Amino acid sequence: MPVIQNQVEQRLTDHFAPFFAEIVNESHMHNVPPGSESHFKVTLVSDVFSGLRLVKRHQEVYRILQTLMGAPIHALALHTYTESEWRERNGSPDSPNCMGGSQA
- pLDDT tens digit string along 30-72? 989 998 999 999 999 999 999 999 999 999 999 999 999 999 9
The amino acid at residue 83 is E
- The Cα 27–Cα 90 span in angstroms is 25
* Gap between the Cα atoms of 64 and 44, Å rounded: 13
Segment 78-93 shows an average pLDDT of: 86
Res. 93: pLDDT tops 90? no
pLDDT at 14 over 80: yes
Distance in Å from the first CA to the final CA of the chain: 31
Q: Domain spanning 3-90: which CATH class is it, in words?
A: alpha beta
